[in-house]
Structure 1
C-alpha cells in the first residue's frame, strides 16, 4: 500500500513539475515547439475531435492554467479580439507541452521498477494526459479558425470615404 502512496506522490510531482516547467518556458520557445504547434489536415479545424464527442466532456476536466502567478486560465473565452485569441492559442500550446512532458516522465518508472509497473505507469500517464492534450488541440484549432476569420475581415475592411458637403 505504501507503493500506491509513493507513486501517487511521484505523479503529483510530475504533474505540477511539468506544469511549472511549461510555465517558465519563454513564449518564443513555446511557439517553436513543432509537436504542439503543428496543425494536421486530419484534425479538420477541430472537427475530428468533435467526432470523439469532445464537446460533451471537455468542460468536466480540471483547468489549472492560472495555478501559477500570472498564469492564463483557459476555462472561458473572455474576449474575441485577435491579440487575446493569439495569447489563448499560445497558452493551449503551453498546456499541451506540459501534458506531453508529464506523460513522457512516465518512462522513468521503467528505470527503477519491474517492467510490468513501468507499463502500468505508462498507461496511467496516457489515460491522465491524452484527454487534456486533445482538448488543447481542439481549442487551438477552433481559435486559429477564428483568428483566420478575423484576419480576413480586417484585410477586407476598407475605409469609408465620405463625400464633401457643398
Structure 2
C-alpha cells in the first residue's frame, strides 16, 4: 500500500514528519529507560573481538577525524546526559558514561530498524532513499558510541575496575 496518489513533495513531507516523530518518541523512551537496565551489554551492544578496545575504529575508520562533527542529543530531554565530553574520571562517572553510550546505541539501532517501514507507503525508490537515510544518519552514531564505550572499558580494565574478559 503506497500513497501513490500523493505528489512527491507530500510524500517527502510525510516521511520527514514520520522521521521526526519517530526520533522524538524513540529518544524519549530511551531517555526514560532506567539506568540499571543499561549497566551491562545486551546482544546488540556487546563489543566484539574485532573492535580491539576501539583500535579498529581508529585504524580502519579514522574515527577520530570525524566523530566530533556528529550531533550530540543526549541532553535534549530534561535530565539527559551529554556525551560530548567526559563528566569526570572516577570509575562511577566512567560507568555512567558507558551506560549512556548503550542508551544512545540502542536508540540508533531502533531508528535504523525503522528504515524499512518507509517501504510500506513510498514508491520503491523513495523507500530505498529512506532506508539509505536511516543507515547514513544512524550508523556513524552507532560507531561512535561503540568506539567510546570500548575506550572507556579499556580505561576501567587498566585501573582494575572491570574484568579482563568479556562474555
TM-score (norm 1): 0.85
Task: Indicate the structure (1 or 2) with the bigger Cα radius of gyration.
Answer: 1
More helix by share: 1
Alpha carbon RMSD of aligned pairs, Å?
Answer: 1.7
Partner of residue 116, structure 1: 125
Q: Any idea what SS the aligned residue of 2:159 has?
A: helix
Which of 94, 97, 102 is the aligned partner of 2:106?
Answer: 97
1:32/1:149 Cα in 2 relative to 1: closer, same or farther (>3 Å)?
closer
Does the alignment pair 1:134 with 2:143? yes
Choose which of 20, 30, 47 in structure 2 pairs with 1:39: 47
Shift of 1:10: 1.4
Partner of 2:94: 85
Counterpart in the other structure of 1:8: 16
Mind listing any 5+ residue stretches in structure 1 that lack a counterpart?
153-166
Pair 1:32–1:46, CA change in 2 (3 A)? closer
| Cα displacement (A) at 1:70 | 1.1
Gaps of 5+ in 2: 1-8, 162-167
Q: CA deviation at 1:32?
A: 5.3
TM superposition shift of 1:60: 0.8
How many residue pairs get aligned? The number is: 152
TM-score, normalized by length of structure 2?
0.84
**Structure 1 position 54, deviation (Å):** 0.6
The corresponding residue for 1:72 is 81
Is 1:23 aligned to residue 31 of structure 2?
Answer: yes
